């Protein structure tokens, strides 16, 4: 499995893009950025988008991807997949012909460039060539962690399920803020390095922990604190790099 990091950050900065991963060239895991990271021919090949939650830093790229498909490949479709509350949020608040065109009707309802697929909670689902298990985690809106934590504060269930899974190669976990902003992290449903350190005891042991979603304005401070925890396990994902597991 190839995982290309299209965006690794929890916001935007010069050359720093919001969260998005491209798995085996066909499946997006979150879509904070798409067109700013891959070419139009590469965008046309994307078939599914696993969306953890409806916040803009995880969905803005999906909006522009559908726009691109409508212009250059109207016979193609990307299917956005998530738990029911997330799909409903995208339908109601994003692709609603007010904030953004309803691309489930473009070019026509019968052959649209955008589709939706609702995933069961804690049940396996086939998404392209992947098997996906959706697990609720702790954030300010309904959110599910797929092969990664999604945005979350301290949580339990996803790690309980992960401990039961076989064949895991890595854990992709968010850490947004430095320790001094722990109150902001708690209020907004995110982790700090110290919170991550406490979460590690709940996680499957010995697996690499790949960090994403650091706020670019606070990157250096957060990275220095992460480096003090367990350098042998904790690695910050590099935007633009492809990882193979």
pLDDT per residue over 91-149, tens digit each? 999 999 999 999 999 999 999 999 999 999 888 888 998 888 888 765 544 444 445 77
Least confident window among 29-33, 103-107, 150-154: 150-154
Calculate the average pLDDT of the chain.
92
Which of the four pLDDT bands, split at 50, 70 and 90, describes residue 173? very high
Ranges of each domain in the chain: 2-237
Question: What is the reported pLDDT for 147?
Answer: 58
- CB-based burial label for 233 (10 Å; 0-12, 13-18, 19+): middle
pTM summary value: 0.89
Span 65-92, average pLDDT: 97
Question: What is the reported pLDDT for 60?
Answer: 97
Span 139-162, average pLDDT: 69
Question: What is the reported pLDDT for 157?
Answer: 87
pLDDT digits 0-9 by tens, 34-70: 999 999 999 999 999 999 999 999 999 999 999 999 9
Q: Which SS3 state, helix, strand or coil, does residue 181 take?
A: helix
Q: Which CATH class is domain 2-237?
A: alpha beta
Question: What is the reported pLDDT for 158?
Answer: 87
Higher per-residue pLDDT: 72 or 160: 72
Whether 176 has a pLDDT exceeding 90, the answer reads yes
Give the CA distances from residue 119 to residues 132, 183, 192, in Å, rounded to whole numbers and listed in that order.
9, 32, 29
């Amino acid at each position: 499995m190839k995982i290309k990091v299209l965006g690794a950050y929890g916001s935007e900065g010069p050359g720093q893009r919001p969260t998005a991963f491209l798995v085996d060239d066909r499946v997006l895991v979150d879509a904070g950025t798409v067109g700013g990271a891959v070419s139009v021919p590469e965008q046309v090949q994307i078939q599914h988008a696993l969306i953890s939650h409806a916040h803009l830093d995880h969905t803005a790229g999906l909006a522009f991807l559908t726009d691109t498909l409508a212009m250059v490949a109207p016979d193609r479709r990307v299917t956005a997949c998530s738990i029911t509350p997330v799909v409903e949020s995208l339908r109601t608040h994003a692709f609603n012909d007010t904030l953004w065109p309803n691309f489930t009707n473009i070019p026509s309802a019968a052959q649209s460039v955008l589709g939706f697929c609702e995933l069961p909670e804690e049940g396996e689902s086939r998404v392209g060539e992947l098997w996906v298990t959706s697990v609720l985690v702790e954030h300010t809106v309904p959110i599910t962690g797929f092969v990664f934590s999604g945005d979350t504060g301290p949580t339990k269930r996803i790690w309980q399920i992960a401990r039961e899974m076989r064949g895991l190669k890595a854990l992709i976990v968010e850490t947004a803020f430095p320790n001094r902003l722990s109150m902001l992290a708690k209020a907004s449903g995110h982790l700090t390095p110290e919170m991550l350190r406490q979460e590690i005891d709940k996680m499957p042991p010995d697996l690499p922990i790949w960090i994403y979603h650091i706020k670019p304005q606070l990157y250096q401070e957060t990275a220095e604190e992460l480096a003090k925890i367990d350098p042998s396990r904790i690695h910050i994902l590099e935007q633009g790099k492809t990882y193979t597991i």
